[in-house]
Every structure is written in C-alpha cells, then in structure tokens.
Amino acid sequence: MNFLEKYKKEFEEYDKLDHDFIDDQKIWAQLNKWENPSREDVRRVLKKAEQCVRLDPEETAILIQNQDQDTIQEMYALAHRLKEEVYGDRIVFFAPLYISDECANNCRYCGFRSSNKAIRRKTLSMDEIEEEVRIMIEEGQKRTVLVYGESPKTEVDFMGETIKKVYSVKTRHGEIRRANINCAPLTVEELKKLKEVGIGTFQVFQETYHHQTYREMHPQGTIKGHYRWRLYCMDRAQQAGVDDNGIGVLFGLYDWRFEVMGLLYHTIHLEETFNGVGPHTISFPRITPATGTPFSEHPEYAVSDEDYKKLVAILRLSVPYTGLICTAREPENVRSQVIPFGVSQIDGGTRIGVGAYAKSKSANALPDQEQFSIGDDRSLDDVVKEICDMEFIPSFCTACYRAGRTGEHFMKVAKSRFVHNFCIPNAIFTLKEYLMDYASGETRTKGERILKQHVEKFQGEPVYGTILSNLRRIENGERDLRL
C-alpha cells in the first residue's frame, strides 16, 4: 500500500471542506489596503503590541507594509523588549539529527526529492544513530530535533524506535534530554504513538501558505501534494494530546509578506480551536542551495537580509508568546543581527546530512549531498561564546517539557514571571554544566562572567539560595538539576 492509498479516507474528509482557514484573496486585500501606512498607523499598532498581546491580521499587515525607517527602528526596539519580557535574555540551543534522506515526495526546492539522482539515499541503523548521538552529547548537546524524509522505511513505528534509541544513549557527561520531531504529517493514532515514547515538539512546516504556489512546488500524485492534509496536521496533533507544536514556512517560495500573514492566520486558527493554545514555536528558514536542485539556486521570491530582519521583528510583535527559531541556514552575521529582534532558539554545531556527525569526526569532509546548505557551520563552542559576547545567556534547558509545562499550561504561565523564576535559573544550571564539561578556556571565562551577572540579579529573592546550592552541587559533580 502506498501513502496515497493509506491516507485516502483522511484526504477525502479534507476535500469535503468548502474552504480552509487560509484565504489568499483576503490576505492580499489586507496587504493592499495598507500599502502605504502612515507613521500614526504604525505607532497605533505598536501601542497595542506593547501590551504583549497577539495582533490582528490587519495590524500585522500595517507593520509588514511599513517602509518608514524611523518607525521600522521602533519596531525593532519593541520586538527586542517584548522578547526580553516573555523569554528573558536567554537563547535556547538545539541541534538537528538527520535520520533518513529517503523520501517519496518530489518537492521542487528540496535536495531530498525523489527524482534527485545526485543523492545517495540512506537511513541510519540503530547503531549508527547511537554513534551520532554520542558525538552530539560529547560536543555538549542536550536537545535535538530528529529529521526524516517521508518513506515507507521511516513510518511511525520506526520513528518511535529512533526516539527510544536517542534517549537510551548515555555518556560520562550526560544524555540528550529532549528529542523533538520534524517529519511528515501524521494521523491522530500515529501521533498518539509518538506521544507515548516521549516526543518533544512536533514540527511540520507548511512550506508555503499560498495555494497555487503550494501546488506548483509539490506535484500531484505525492502525499505532500495535498495542501489541507499538511495544513491541518497540528489540529490532529492537538487531538492526539501532542500539545507542543512548531510551525513554519520556507521563505523564498512565495512573497514573504503573504507568508507572514499565513503564519499569523495559522496561529489564530489553532488558538481559536484549542482553547488559546497556538504554536509553541515558529521557524522561518530562507531557501538555500541544495545538492542537485537548480530551483534552490535562484528562487524568484528570495528574501533580502533587510526584509528578513523585518519579518523576524514582525513575528515577535504579532505573536509575542511564541518561540522564534533562527536556524543555521542563516550566515552568522545575519543571525547575530536578528537574534536581538525576538529570536529565542538557535542551533549550534549543526551538521546536516545523514550520518553527518560521524563523518565530521573522520578524515572525510562534511557531507556535500544535503537537503539544503547551511550558512553557519561554526562549532557549538564558538556559537555559545558569541551568545555570551552578545550579553545573552545560553540555555540547554529542557525542564518545561519534562515537567509537563506545555500546551495550555505553558500559554497560561508565559504571561507571568515564569521566565524569571524558572527559565533563567534553569538556564544558569545548564550553562554551568556546559562550561564545566565541554567549553574551551575562552568560552568558559566568558560564560562564567555571564553566569555571575545573572546569579547576582536574584540576590534578595527566595530562589537565590537554591541557585547557589545547585551551582555548588553541579561543581561537585551532580547534573540535570532543574526547577
């Protein structure tokens, strides 16, 4: 049975819908209405955004269409302030782990597409997964996102076994404490299986919300060719009890302004359908060249660095309680520019390609047969050092996931002093672990300075004694202490 036959009945249910929650004409009408917003219009929206509430689509359209440099700088400043208020000055680290590049889809922009003969396909064995994970742990990683192509070899039972394998690997310095998943849309029953094995965030990116572009990018006759099956995958995740979800688009497939509106409408749909629970994270990668993939070389809707900075700030202003992920697709100079505008998660020490971590440790060069190319190939230590130089605190915390603070619970506490009382102390503990177990001398020096600054902020507060006690326990060899 191929994928289309397997999901035929599911597809038919979505085909019965008169419409979905993305209205292309309405989005363009809103963008065109505000083609030349005044400074007063922009500042009116910023005044509302100061309240740390989600913006309405027309308000976001005003920010998108704003071309006035003075108020754009005001947007950047407020985006930074809101990020600090909701997420603090911590930056959470993760790294991807590619499990398989075998894929039944044929997306025009992707190096993994089935027609690409320049890729030699591989799915990692359990032993190979263990080797990859050991290397990641010894570099300091605590959080990962597992990446799969859509193939009969990587269906849900296989995914479950890979998650178990990742969690089973222990070294003298620790383990991967949270494994997120980036994979194809699944059924409710399949998602329940992943929940049982301890999935972290479930990520599925729509790629593009524009219906016609979606059809052009994803050929009919493939499972990914069904727009609504993908669009409603987070609804199924919520129904399965997988309440920590990540959405995103691939910027460059269509007009970035439309795609930002699509992300907002997706957020609104989820919040209105599931008791205020929207996406926990939004990712916004730009298309980059992929092996054997001419389309990726010169995309018609390529996003400039200036527009990229702007869209990151707009996402923070529009959905202030949602985590924003800036990946290593971006070059280090771009990442350093956009992080202050609202980014809360980044990857560091990233290796892409199946088996890439092991290959990076051998005499072989990094894989050149990849789904896309990365712009920031620095080591984890180098990225941690830079984040310290930027006066942010690197965090490897996974406490919320393991304490059940996800979904509705997380959304409720995000508006309180939760970040100050829980997230920053947990960032302090995990950074201390990293500095003791993995960091270079220079990074350790800079990291200890950042730690001291953050610990001193808690003097006089009830949690201060716990922070000092846990730091001493970590220095004495204990690990994985958290609030």
Q: Which residues of the chain have pLDDT under 70?
A: 1, 363-371, 401-420
Two tokens, residue 265: 């409408």
- The full length of the chain comes to 483
Distance CA 7, CA 75 (A): 44
Of residues 264, 309, 275, the one with CA closest to residue 76: 309
Q: Count how many Cα atoms sit within 13 Å of the Cα of residue 101 in the half-sphere of its side chain.
A: 25
Distance CA 427, CA 418 (A): 13
The torsion region of residue 189 among left (phi > 0), alpha (psi -120 to 50) and beta comes to alpha
- 39-49 and 57-65 helices, crossing angle to 10°: 130
The whole-number pLDDT of residue 366 equals 46
> Cβ neighbours of residue 179 under 8 Å, at least 6 residues apart?
144, 145, 146, 163, 166, 167, 198, 199, 200
> Cβ neighbours of residue 317 under 8 Å, at least 6 residues apart?
45, 46, 49, 55, 60, 63, 75, 78, 79, 82, 342
Distance CA 180, CA 391 (A): 27
Tell me the one-letter amino acid at 430: T
Question: Taking a C-beta distance cutoff of 8 angstroms, is the pair 342, 80 a contact?
Answer: yes
Distance CA 240, CA 79 (A): 33
Helix spans in 108-210 (H): 126-139, 156-168, 188-196
The whole-number pLDDT of residue 408 equals 56
Tell me the per-residue pLDDT of 313-349, one tens digit each, with 9 for 90 and over.
Answer: 999 999 999 999 999 999 999 999 999 999 999 999 9
Two tokens, residue 170: 């222990």
Two tokens, residue 367: 């894989």
The reply to whether the predicted model has a pTM over 0.85 is: yes
Q: Which residue has the tokens 């955004």?
A: 49
> What is the end-to-end Cα distance of the chain in Å, rounded?
48
